[in-house]
Structure 1
Amino acid sequence: MVYGLGPDTERQLGVLWGKSARRAGGTKNLLLSHLLDTAAVAELIWDRYLAVSVKRMLDEVAGGPGLGRRFFAWLCGVHDCGKATPAFQHVDEDAADAVWRAGLTWDRHVVKKSRRRHDKAGGELIRRALAQAGWGEDQIGWVWPLVAGHHGSFPSLGQLRDRTRGQLQGKGRVWAQAQSALVTVFTKELGFADLAQVQPKTIPSRAAQLQLSGFVVMADWIASDERYFVGIDELEKVSMSAARGRAVAAWQQLGLRGGWGTLAFPGAGLFGERFGCEPRPSQVQALEVARRMGGPGLMVLEAPMGEGKTNTALAVVEVLAARFGADGVFVGMPTQATSDPMFTKVRDWVAKVSPGLESQVALLHGKRRFNSEWRELLAAAGEDPAGHHGGVQEDEYGLEVEDWWNEPGCCEERKVPAEWFLGRMRGLLSPFVVGTIDQLLFAATRTRHVMLRTAGLAGKVVVLDEVHAADVYMSQFLMEGLRWLGQAGVPVVLLSATLSPAQRRDLVAAYLAGASSLEAADVSGLTEPTGYPNVTAAWQGADGPQFLAEHTTSWRKDLDVRIRVLPEPAAGRPVTGRDGASAVSAGDRAVTDLLEDRLRDGGCVLVIRNTVQRAQDTYTALRARFGDDVRLLHGRLHAEHRAERTEECLRLLGPPGPDRPPRPGRLIVVATQLAEQSFDVDADLLVTDLAPIDLLLQRIGRLHRHRGTVRPALLKSPQVVVTGFNPRRSDPPEILPSSKGIYGSYLLLRTAASVLAAAAGEWSVAGQVPDLVRRVYDAEQPVVPARWADIEHTAYQEWGDTRRLRAERAAPFLLTRIGEHANTTLDGLHYGGSPASLQEEQFQALVRDGEPSIEVILVRRDASGFWTLKGRSLGVNGDASADLVEEVLAATVRLPSKLTAAAEADLRPLEGWRDDPWLRYSHALVLEESGGAVIGGHTVRYDDELGLVVDASP
């Protein structure tokens, strides 16, 4: 006998299987072997991946320094104990026969009809085993959900129960003996004397439990890779030492690793070493506050546009990582377009902190394949930029997504390529990640496999830029995410140029509520900064919440920005003509005339419109007058055009440097809100639609941004021209309906009042920024003239009602249900959760309010078949060879929300796409020889200059 068990029990242990032959390289893998394989992988995750902060937490849970490693390995390995039940053992007929012959029988009729999953069976089994070993109820209560939830969702205790009188769980003494033997032998193989010795000494926070669950999934998926863990079907060959050898070989092949490990505390020359310059006063202040914080917490950095907040944040990350044991960073940006340049910046910074680790920086958003730097990195690593991975379609985290061609189902055995979610440069589980803020918001949703997302944030410092840009709906997910990060002790750095006092207080309160594991935190001790730039820090101390709030002076003199209003009627789109040219609206005619006057000596202008339609119309009008000196940038350009134009704008108008081309003599960039934030361009003149004051000030941040820029005489003084509304002598102004549809009337009305009060005068930017924002957002502050009072009151009520409705709309999708933030375990976390198989665009609809929209791939068709937009043939079925896939994907474009329902109902992949792992999940929008397509009663066409154009109903 191998393990000193009775002959019958040992024979049963030798037939219980964990992976079938077809899922384990041709030979079935015994269940004990898979548990040990997973535990061996977990040891390597501890040794080579986990952050110091996570190890400290596990040591404390296990009872002291050095004890966490073995407990972590046990926790990961025991996850599949539920496979020692008829619910799983019957799945493979050949393997099931051997189990049956060994005396482990079941009611074939009952078991065959059931769809009970082994993860739930494992939750029930481990509860019984731990209770018999003498574990306390509290300790059992937090461990069993990690077993029951390792397939992506946490059931409630009531959902564990086998309603077939034990048939699925294994009925009788023989099954109980075999199950007990499996857990006991596994436990002893890890070096524990018995199961009682495994019992932890403390209970980790609920957030730490969720992160641990993610690492359980990570270890399981690596140990399930048949290429490195070929099945072992003879019990005498199963051992922990053999499992460790297999795990080391797999780890080396997969190229997995963590981040910094233990980061040295940065010295006084930090800024010079990292960024080649001396720190500014606001940067010195932020570093000092980071050094003084009494524990991991939240920092809010508020500073003017162009102050260098990004460099400040990265320097602060080093301090916080060194102090609190973080191993990497996640930088969340407001958009995909702003993520790309940040990716470059973070790679440069990581290379200076730890040379060689820049290859471990991941770019994480849905269009990263079009980022040239990302593609070069993948190519250098020998990876396929198109993401072809054995025919399995997965999201950014390695989670399988719904198949267009088959009914979605749930298979009891899974086969997931580990490198997809843990490759050197993939996903939140990479040590250094740059992506959209959505990645954090996703981690605050009640969706399957959310534990992988939270595990990806464990042991990192989280940096979120432009946090003021989150509207009330998105803010619900942001606050929820901050709660979980606070409870997990993850340091967070928030950046903003224009944060209202109420927003700041809400952000701090959310983090501290999590850190204190309370439904609400006491932030009465939080004082509002009295100057600008400023830093606010908060953390949970032994005596409750602790705060620091400091301010300093900006590094440069304020810009005195002249404010001018260019009236625009709000009624319809009146059309005029000029000299036989194409018809233009009165508003665009006014902008064109203005720029013709201001650009007599040249200059660079940024025109920001609130909608794509307005941007296209304005571009058309300006192009007719200024020719090739006009550029257009908006969200309905296809992926390749958008990436190219964003890169061109940053190259032409970005910060000066040795690699930059000369500044254009004349250039006009027409853009939507894409240019509003984290878009490092320098305009001589800004023309913008009316927007809420904080967003308007963000747009002004693109004006005269870089020092030393030579500007034409007419544009030497910074000026912003605000349009998109029509002031009236005694009545409130007319505001474009399209703008009100986006922002509502209330904030636009109060912002218009502020703009009109300053018209023909100046704003001192950035000195006046906090006061301007405070006055518009504080309902008690009188901003509008008395004659507007009734209109303002009505708008305020509508604004409040809308905010409440939008917050309520987000509630069903938040990770924690209302009233359950004080819960101490993961029991029932996923009750009423969102669907499991969501692709990125669906997640965006989940965490960003508004009408849902989807992306489509544009192709052309004529009598001979399908063609790419660049004119390469796809044949009669749309077949895309390997060298054409990228070209096809480059024509991805987002439809306006009004066409979403029709697109989802009518559009499908082309027949020739069904075997491609990317294209098979895509909607094809076929443009006929006429150049357009009809969808949802609208004619849609793609213009290489204008992008996607949606015409009126036919």
Structure 2
Amino acid sequence: MVGEYELEFADPDVTGQLGVLWGKSAAKAAGRMNLLICHLLDTAAVAEQIWDHYLAPSTKAWLEDVAGAPGYGRRFFAWICGVHDCGKATPAFQQMDEAGARAVREAGLTWASTGRQRWRHDQAGGKLIRDVLHEAGWADDQISWVWPLVAGHHGKFPSVGQLREPSLARGHLHGKGPEWRRVQSAVVEVFTRQLGFEGLKEVQPVRVPSRADQLHLSGLVVMADWIASDERHFPGIDQLRDVGLSVSRERAIKAWEELGLRGGWGTLAVPGNEAFHDRFGHGPRSSQVMVMDAARRMGGPGLVIVEAPMGEGKTKTALLAAEILAARFGADGVFVGMPTQATSDPIFSQVRQWAGKVAPGLESQVALLHGKRRFNREWQALLEQAGDSPDDIYGTVDEDAMYGMSPFDTGEVPERRAPAEWFLGSKRGLLTPLVVGTIDQLLFAATRTKHVMLRMAGLAGKVVILDEVHAADVYMAQFLLEGLRWLGQARVPVVLLSATLPPAQRRALVDAYLAGAASRENPPALDLPSPDGYPSVTAAWMEDSGPQRLVDHCASWREDLSVRVEVLPEPAATSAPAASTDAVVTLLADRLRHGGCALVIRNTVDRAQETYQALRAQFRDDVLLLHGRLHAAHRADRTETALARLGPSQASRRRTILVATQLAEQSFDVDADILVTDLAPIDLLLQRIGRLHRHSGVPRPVAVQEPCVVITGFRDSGSDAPWILPASEVIYDRYLLLRTAAIVCGADTSSWNIPGRVPALVADVYGNTPLVPDAWAEAERAAYADWDADQQARADSAQKFLLTRFKEHENTTLEGLHYAETKGDDEVVQAIVRDGDPTIEVVIVHKDVNGYTTWTGRRLGVNGEVPVDLLDEVLGGTVRLPAKLAAVAENELQPLDGWRDHPWLRHSRALKLDTQGRASLDRWAVRYDTQLGLVVDKGQQ
């Protein structure tokens, strides 16, 4: 029988006890206690809304398969979400509120004092549901995967040993005696019958889902719980006669509408090639057709690797491929991961425009997800139009206090142009239907951290696009490979973009995805040849017969550029300190004598600052500086100016020299007439060369009409291995720099045909064939030994943070996943997935006799209190300190007294500069210069 069941139990005493067991105290349920059975039904009703209006078709399909029959998936999903809090039917939880505990005792459910012994209700729930399902006759393999979802709904999956009640409690935390056992069974049974099941036995699934699907489902349980825990939409109901599924459904429908939650595009038709013109206003290039064709030919959801030169249009290619893969395999959104915050911002605009063409209004469901998004003008404008308050939606609150809810008004906003505010709260960003952010968001999903299930729930059901994957170093690659393994197991289509990949890296990416898809540590071997040409596509997927692949290539849309390669030897260390920059000034004075635009890329901030000063003395306002030690406001303004002055304009351009660090290396759409760059590994060097003559039709003065890269930062002695800038070796390792230098200095490298020669150049440097001159051979062997040991050490150092511990990839449940968890907030996790010495962000303020001012000179409160209209200005002064100052800053810098209760600033360290813009940190003297950015004065070290 399906329909409304009476809440009365066969035993009237148990019915009375169901009427006093509380799930939310009056303080957390809008002034009236909320019965436990009501909260379970509220959560189940929210789950029904999630099923109807949010879940991807692919997610519904596997849930139906697990449940065992068409139509059962929705009801099973509501059950697994609702039963999550059954562990509150224990003294461990019921004693936590004085008024609630008194009523429970009066109803005959008693317990002895346990002193200071405590037991989390999520862990108690894991034990309770195991016992109840065992009594109901469930199979052990089904119980084994279900109980961790209950025990882990507060963000961490315990081991079965952690479900044991503290020994000194002697049963009084779980509930001792038959009275407690009856009421605990009754809670689960009554809830189950309310959902239309005849009994618990009927709920039992027929198939155990994959571990990745379990993690996905766990995240959805948390999502449903958090929504149903919002007292504004689910105020307390303390009378059993007023509780029922129909009541909860009414509450859930109203809450869903008021929160404005929704999914992505739903079901799509497979687009043809003509859709490319509809989306972007022009027809596809041959490489784009090739990738779209590959996406149509794949026999299942899989991994697509697109390798194409800079400017080929890989982002547009990926978005159309995502449409095809979503239509074919039931995805309902997209995550686009970029290498940096700066590269995420322009793609955010592009994805919004594309989404609006896929479905009118869908552009409103695109979220920008990175730590500096409030400084993105488009994002900020969308929030202001929607009436959102950044102070509220970005602030994090104690999850146990209100389950992550933030205190803003969530009434409907007509024609809202930003995602629902609920998605913008702490830890929920990836749940937004369409997301653009840094690749870190995916890397976070591969870490053993609290609430990792929310990250998986935000990725599963989408198509995942990652750009510039070649930029992941060996440390980051461990998290990328781990993430791909989980995405492969979850059948998530993934599109990876790169200028080019070394064959070994391409193979590793494919192997990781297929290992997940096969749910085996070592899947059947796949013959994976390297593409024969460039651009290329490599696709891999799993079928019943084993792993499958498709490899193809085509001609680039434009002819190769013949790029002249010159070497500007780095002066000897004994030369005058300015000799290096003087050589660059002399070179550019000659090449830009008739005008033109130059890009100068230095490998360190200090070197960029020195170069900028030397060039500015000669070229004045024609010189721009961009690096990571500019504060947030200056960096945003400089980036915008650089893109405007060196962008793809067809009009006459004024002479401009942009001095930058690696920020200009990736997804930075500037067009330079000449490039001067420090030596870097070949793939990164080629990325930099991708900024040369990037757009056709740009007028170029006669002296720079031929594309030219001038490589410096090293010096070839002619008889021994070259001297390489020590700072570059610290960043990139000597081995790859030596092999790159060998190619740069080779007899046949006076010019490179770009992009045609890109794959061969990368394969040469990253391969193991002899490359360096005989005179360098011994230096190369020593460098390789150091590099190989370093690579292994860095890979090993990531292992302790990975989501799956060593030799646990073939585990079938989530039990014990968070044993020895990685702890910390998002900033700590970001440091975990990015290798290198830790760095710290600080907020610049100025201090004078009257108190504090912002970096622009506007007055703050006497203790630094920030008026609402100055918050963005204060945060605009955020700057990252160099790693060598991190330890000192941790010890010496604290939030201002007026920031300690501020949702955005309470964890922000203030760098207090004097009226001259200077400060001392231990033995270091630092200053902030409006042109140079943060400067660490070498004379004060």
- Normalising by the residue count of structure 2, what TM-score does the alignment of the two structures yield? 0.96
Q: Take 2:749 and 2:501, find their aligned partners in 1: how far apart are those partners?
A: 26
Alpha-carbon deviations, 1:258-311, whole Å to 9, x = none?
000001211231211111112111111111110000000000000111111111
Q: Which residue of 1 aligns with 2:163?
A: 160
1:643 aligns with 2:636: yes
SS of the residue corresponding to residue 920 of structure 1 reads coil
Q: Take 1:388 and 1:208, find their aligned partners in 2: how far apart are those partners?
A: 32
Return closer, same or farther for 1:195/1:682 CA change in 2, 3 Å cut-off.
same
Q: Which residue of 2 aligns with 1:826?
A: 814
Return closer, same or farther for 1:635/1:928 CA change in 2, 3 Å cut-off.
same
List aligned pairs for 1:293-308, cutoff 5 A.
293-308=298-313
1:318 aligns with 2:323: yes
Instruction: Answer yes or no: is the 8 Å Cα contact 1:575–1:586 preserved in 2.
Output: yes
1:48 aligns with 2:53: yes
Instruction: Answer yes or no: is the 8 Å Cα contact 1:570–1:725 preserved in 2.
Output: no
Alpha-carbon deviations, 1:572-621, whole Å to 9, x = none?
7x536xxxxxxxx2110000000000001100000000011111110111
Instruction: Answer yes or no: is the 8 Å Cα contact 2:210–2:489 preserved in 1.
Output: yes
Alpha-carbon deviation of 1:651? Answer: 2.1
User: Sequence identity, in percent?
Assistant: 63
SS of the residue corresponding to residue 856 of structure 1 reads strand
Give the partner amino acid of 2:130: R
SS of the residue corresponding to residue 113 of structure 1 reads coil
Return closer, same or farther for 1:941/1:700 CA change in 2, 3 Å cut-off.
same
Q: Take 1:166 and 1:569, find their aligned partners in 2: how far apart are those partners?
A: 77
* Unmatched segments (≥5 aa) in structure 1: 395-399, 402-409, 577-584
Q: Which residue of 2 aligns with 1:587?
A: 580
Return closer, same or farther for 1:415/1:506 CA change in 2, 3 Å cut-off.
closer
Instruction: Answer yes or no: is the 8 Å Cα contact 2:217–2:457 preserved in 1.
Output: yes
Alpha-carbon deviation of 1:644? Answer: 1.2
2:702 to 713, 723, 729: 713
Give the partner amino acid of 1:422: F
List aligned pairs for 1:861-880, cutoff 5 A.
861-880=847-866
Bigger drift between 933-942 and 45-54 goes to: 933-942
Alpha-carbon deviations, 1:508-556, whole Å to 9, x = none?
0000000001113344411111111110000011111101111111111
Q: Which residue of 1 aligns with 2:415?
A: none
Instruction: Answer yes or no: is the 8 Å Cα contact 1:118–1:412 preserved in 2.
Output: no
Q: Which residue of 1 aligns with 2:601?
A: 608
Instruction: Answer yes or no: is the 8 Å Cα contact 2:395–2:425 preserved in 1.
Output: no
Give the partner amino acid of 2:206: K
Give the partner amino acid of 2:790: T
Q: Take 2:789 and 2:370, find their aligned partners in 1: how far apart are those partners?
A: 33
List aligned pairs for 1:659-698, cutoff 5 A.
662-698=651-687
Q: Take 1:555 and 1:230, find their aligned partners in 2: how far apart are those partners?
A: 61
1:596 aligns with 2:589: yes
SS of the residue corresponding to residue 648 of structure 2 reads coil
2:617 to 613, 618, 624: 624
Q: Which residue of 2 aligns with 1:397?
A: none
SS of the residue corresponding to residue 795 of structure 1 reads helix
Give the partner amino acid of 1:345: Q
Instruction: Answer yes or no: is the 8 Å Cα contact 2:596–2:673 preserved in 1.
Output: yes
Instruction: Answer yes or no: is the 8 Å Cα contact 2:405–2:425 preserved in 1.
Output: no
Return closer, same or farther for 1:219/1:141 CA change in 2, 3 Å cut-off.
same
Q: Take 1:722 and 1:523, find their aligned partners in 2: how far apart are those partners?
A: 42
Q: Take 2:214 and 2:536, find their aligned partners in 1: how far apart are those partners?
A: 35
Alpha-carbon deviation of 1:759? Answer: 7.5
Instruction: Answer yes or no: is the 8 Å Cα contact 1:46–1:69 preserved in 2.
Output: yes
Alpha-carbon deviations, 1:107-144, whole Å to 9, x = none?
12x1x412310000000000001111110000000000
2:177 to 166, 169, 172: 172
Alpha-carbon deviation of 1:7? Answer: 1.6
Q: Which residue of 2 aligns with 1:847?
A: 833
Alpha-carbon deviation of 1:57? Answer: 0.6
Q: Take 1:710 and 1:415, find their aligned partners in 2: how far apart are those partners?
A: 54
Q: Which residue of 1 aligns with 2:206?
A: 201
SS of the residue corresponding to residue 300 of structure 1 reads strand
1:798 aligns with 2:786: yes
Q: Take 2:758 and 2:85, find their aligned partners in 1: how far apart are those partners?
A: 56
Instruction: Answer yes or no: is the 8 Å Cα contact 1:865–1:878 preserved in 2.
Output: yes
1:387 aligns with 2:406: no
Give the partner amino acid of 1:156: S
SS of the residue corresponding to residue 263 of structure 1 reads coil
Q: Take 2:9 and 2:229, find their aligned partners in 1: how far apart are those partners?
A: 28
Q: Which residue of 1 aligns with 2:495?
A: 493
Give the partner amino acid of 1:904: E
Give the partner amino acid of 1:594: L
Q: Which residue of 2 aligns with 1:142?
A: 145
1:514 to 513, 516, 520: 516
Return closer, same or farther for 1:20/1:94 CA change in 2, 3 Å cut-off.
same
Alpha-carbon deviation of 1:415? Answer: 5.5
Give the partner amino acid of 1:71: F
Return closer, same or farther for 1:69/1:732 CA change in 2, 3 Å cut-off.
same
Across the aligned residues of Structure 1 and Structure 2, the Cα RMSD in angstroms comes to 1.5
2:740 to 740, 751, 773: 751
Instruction: Answer yes or no: is the 8 Å Cα contact 2:287–2:555 preserved in 1.
Output: yes
SS of the residue corresponding to residue 330 of structure 1 reads strand
Q: Take 2:640 and 2:109, find their aligned partners in 1: how far apart are those partners?
A: 64
List aligned pairs for 1:58-457, cutoff 5 A.
58-108=63-113, 110=114, 112-162=115-165, 163=167, 164-384=169-389, 386-389=390-393, 393-394=395-396, 400=397, 411=400, 414=403, 416-417=405-406, 421-423=422-424, 427-457=429-459
Give the partner amino acid of 1:558: D
Q: Take 2:571 and 2:171, find their aligned partners in 1: how far apart are those partners?
A: 74
1:18 aligns with 2:20: no
SS of the residue corresponding to residue 249 of structure 1 reads helix
SS of the residue corresponding to residue 747 of structure 1 reads helix
- Normalising by the residue count of structure 1, what TM-score does the alignment of the two structures yield? 0.95
SS of the residue corresponding to residue 709 of structure 2 reads strand
Q: Take 2:760 and 2:340, find their aligned partners in 1: how far apart are those partners?
A: 27
Instruction: Answer yes or no: is the 8 Å Cα contact 1:684–1:711 preserved in 2.
Output: yes
Alpha-carbon deviations, 1:30-61, whole Å to 9, x = none?
00000000000000000000000000010000
Alpha-carbon deviations, 1:364-410, whole Å to 9, x = none?
000000000000100111112x3325xx932xxxxx47xxxxxxxx9
Q: Take 2:857 and 2:7, find their aligned partners in 1: how far apart are those partners?
A: 67
1:771 aligns with 2:760: yes
SS of the residue corresponding to residue 283 of structure 1 reads helix
Alpha-carbon deviations, 1:182-238, whole Å to 9, x = none?
000000000101000000010111001001000000000000001010000000000
Alpha-carbon deviations, 1:315-352, whole Å to 9, x = none?
10110010001100000000000000000000010011
1:858 to 844, 867, 892: 844
Q: Take 2:95 and 2:536, find their aligned partners in 1: how far apart are those partners?
A: 63
Give the partner amino acid of 1:464: L
Q: Which residue of 2 aligns with 1:579?
A: none
Return closer, same or farther for 1:712/1:148 CA change in 2, 3 Å cut-off.
same
SS of the residue corresponding to residue 185 of structure 1 reads helix
Give the partner amino acid of 2:636: A
Alpha-carbon deviation of 1:758? Answer: 5.2
SS of the residue corresponding to residue 12 of structure 1 reads helix
Q: Take 2:807 and 2:378, find their aligned partners in 1: how far apart are those partners?
A: 45
Alpha-carbon deviation of 1:929? Answer: 2.7
Return closer, same or farther for 1:72/1:694 CA change in 2, 3 Å cut-off.
same
Return closer, same or farther for 1:262/1:758 CA change in 2, 3 Å cut-off.
farther
Q: Take 2:74 and 2:448, find their aligned partners in 1: how far apart are those partners?
A: 29
Give the partner amino acid of 2:617: A
Alpha-carbon deviation of 1:420? Answer: 5.5
